[in-house]
Structure formats: structure tokens, C-alpha cells
A and B are shown apart, each in its own frame.
Chain A
Amino acid sequence: MEHSDFLVVGGGVIGSAVACGLLHKKCSVTLLDAGGDAFNASLANFGLVWVQGKGQGSRRYAEWCHEASELFPEYVRQLETETGIDLAYRKPGGLVLCHGEEEYQKREKVLERLRNESRHGSYDCHMLDRADVQKMLPNLTLGPGITGGSYSAHDGYLNPLALLKALHMSFTQGGGHFCSGTAVTNIGYQHGRFLVTTNSGEFTAEKIVLAAGNAMTRLSRMVGMDVQVHPEQGQLMVTERTRPTLSMPISGIQQTAEGSFIVGLSNRNVGFNTDTDTRLMKQMAQRVVNAFPALACLKIVRSWSSLRVLTADGLPIYQQSERCPGAYAVTAHSGVTLAPQHQIHIADWIAEGVQPEEFERFSTRRFDVEKTA
């Protein structure tokens, strides 16, 4: 039986970032990844490092994302130096396009709300009229229905597959033990230690971190927590490669470093289902063509769907179990954007008990308050 200081369940981008952070604390860390059948959002996402628009109604979450974006350039530099893997990270800023007047007004209200809720009455993202959006996208003429958009300098993107690969490499190079194809079936707690049963043997650990995406609801109950998440399906399409054309990522439309356009503009509540829907693809393609008529000539070469991991209010949950101290739940929808926060601050919290500012806002206690109110 293998024993370690920390056992991290879930080898996606969140679990791997936390595991790398814990490894830097000179602890022994084992990372279990179910692989295969797991609905792995880390392998299927867009790769946006995105700040704008996030955190309506939760100032602390808006700040948490913004801080992550500030940490990102140095975070990527270190990971690339350590592993030699090019993450294709760029921070040119990002745009949300508005189709029609109504969307423009709605977007304006979103930014106004975020500004009003912010600490100093400022939110660094602003509305642009159609002409100014066009200036930011010199290679593609906007469709006639585009009324404008919002721009934030804090947004960017990377290659999410390269990020995951780099985290795994960094973890194993740093002496971490990565166990792929290892699915947790039970977690026991005795004398302050955890005993984890898997499909390939048992593991023991002083502390355990659950970062297993949509398996969180089931696993958290094994350590006396009730951390509820639900899947939300998103569908993506990839086009043939073109020469560099799109100068910055747009919410839902992005050109990769290799030249493919990725399109992802959907969300459906269909449970644990990753079927693709051609009607939805058609709608997504139409919206892209409405934004940029020139892209109508591009062939779509692949499509897939994957499952987002959402909490009831869409915000992250960072929670230690009261019944089984030493068990932690870490879940967030934005695993890519928040990677530096998880590797630096969440690892600090788990290993040393150092809590970031206003950290209780990310605990499950926020849901209790709503119930009793």
C-alpha cells in the first residue's frame, strides 16, 4: 500500500495544478487520474484565460479571476522553462461581440453592474462601438448585424492540451507520483488518515484533495461533505487551418496558434451526455458567419462536446471537510484561467492553512446562508 502526505484525486487541470503546488512544499504527493471514461473537461475546453464578465454578484470572484490573469504571464514562463513545452499563451486582450442593439445594451448593463460591485468603482473592461471593434480586428470585416462589443486587456488564451501536459510533466519531474487509469471507489477516514480504495489498489494519505470534476458530488460525501456540482454540456467545432487572421480571442470564437478556428457557443443541460447536436452546430456556425461573413468559406473538420463542471451559483468551491479534517474539495468552472491561483494560493491554503482574502466566500457555507435566509 502506498502512503503519501497528500493524495490528489483528479488529474485534470485543477487537480494537477494543486498537486504541483503541494509538491513545492516538499511534501510527497500522489495524483490519481481515472482517465478513460471520465468526462474530462481539461481535454475538451477552449483554452481561454478569461476575466471579463465573470463574477456578477460576487466581487471576490471577479477579483480572483483578475488576479489569476495578472499571475499568468510569469506562471506560464516558469512552467515553460521547467518543462520545455510551449503553451502558446498570448494575452492580446479579448472581445465579446454584440449582435444587435439588445445584446449591446445587455452587455453594457453587465459591465455597469461589475463596476458598481467592484471595490473602487472601476472595472477594467469597456464597451466599444462597431467602428472601434473593427479596428481591433483588422483582418476580418464585421457582419452588418454587429453593433459593437466589450474589450478587456486582461483576457488571453493558451493551448489547453499543452497546459495539461506541462503540468503532468512538471509534477512527475518534481518527484510526484502520477497514477493514470486509477478510479476511486471508496474513501475511508480513520485516526486522522485517509484510506482510498481504487480499481488498482489502495492508497493512504495524511490529507486528501478532491478535484475530480463532475465526480465531486459522489466523492465529497465519502469524506463528510456535500459539495454539489452538475454537468453542463458545451459543444465545440474546429475548422480547417488558415493563416493567422483573428488578432484576439472572442468569447466563443478563437483561432489557435496552429491556425484552426475553434467555435464554442453552446450550453445544454443534458446530464452525463456528450452527444453532439447538428442543429446546435448549425446555429453556432451561423452566429460565427453573422459576425464574420468571410469565415463562411471554412470547412469544419471536427466537433465534439464536453461537460462543464458547475456549482449551483457557478462560483468555485474551496472547502475543508469539518467531519474529516484534512479532506479538501476544490472545484471551479474555469480551471484554465484559475490555474495559477490553484497552484499557488490553494496549495498554500491546503498545505499551510494560509487563506487568501475573503476566502470564506468560496466555501459551501454560502449555500447554507441562502437556505436559512
Chain B
Amino acid sequence: MLKRLHDISDRRKVTIDFEGMQLEVPAGETVSAAVLAAETDYTRTSAISGVHRGPYCQMGVCFECLMEIDGVPNSQACMIEVRHGMTVRRQHGARGVSDEASV
């Protein structure tokens, strides 16, 4: 599985909620790195075929790491830093569009 290369024991930690699990992760890390380090099997299902997907490029290009972060669907987890109290969910298929969301 994926392991961090550097020692994080002396780093400041924040807690995020990933699918109901409380993860203690180093401040300043991206959501995708934090979730990968927690041995996540997948982070989204694809919009067309529904197959499991996970972060790939880690630099904002491939859009494989889309997740629902603090209620915002299709968020690029590799481009967003973890924040204390953040709620992170897998992105299941395509997002919806509702009139309420625009208010």
C-alpha cells in the first residue's frame, strides 16, 4: 500500500471525516494524499461505466481524484488542502444539478 516517504510525527495534525472514518492527517497535505495514505480502495466511481477510480496524476490534470468535499461534488482532491473538520465523500458517478444548489 501507499506510504508517506517522510516522517510526519512532529507535524501539526488536523482531523477530517472520510466516509465516516476520522482520519488524523498532517496539516498542509492534499485531500487525495491524505485519503491514499489511509489505504483507501477507491475514491470515486466513473460517470459512464461506474467502475472504481482513484487519484492518479496528483497535479490537477487527470480529474481521476474527484470527490465530494464539504458538500461540493466533483472537487479535485489533489488540489485541495485538508482542513480541520472537513467532510470528504467518494464521488459516486456524475453529479446532479438542482435548482436549490444555485441559491
Contacts and interface: CB of A to CB of B under 8 A. Distances in A.
Given A258-B48, A259-B47, A299-B74, A242 B95 contact: yes
Interface residues of A, number: 18
Q: Is the interface of B mostly helix, strand, loop or mixed?
A: loop
Interface string B69-99: 0000010000000000000000001111111
A245 B74 CA distance: 16
Interface in A235-265: 240-243, 245, 258-259
A240 B76 CA distance: 11
B102 A293 contact: yes
A337 to B, nearest CB: 27
B42 interface: no
Given A240-B74, A299-B74, A301-B63, A294 B47 contact: no
Interface in A289-313: 293-299, 301
B101 interface: yes
B97 A241 contact: no
Interface residues of B, number: 14
A242 B99 contact: no
B30 to A, nearest CB: 17
Contacts of A245: 96-97
A89 B20 CA distance: 42
Contacts of B95: 240-243
Given A241-B47, A258-B47, A258-B48, A297 B101 contact: yes
A301 B93 CA distance: 17
Interface of B: 47-48, 63, 66, 74, 93-99, 101-102
Given A140-B99, A258-B47, A295-B97, 11 more contacts: A141-B99, A241-B47, A241-B74, A243-B94, A245-B96, A259-B47, A259-B94, A293-B99, A294-B101, A297-B101, A299-B74
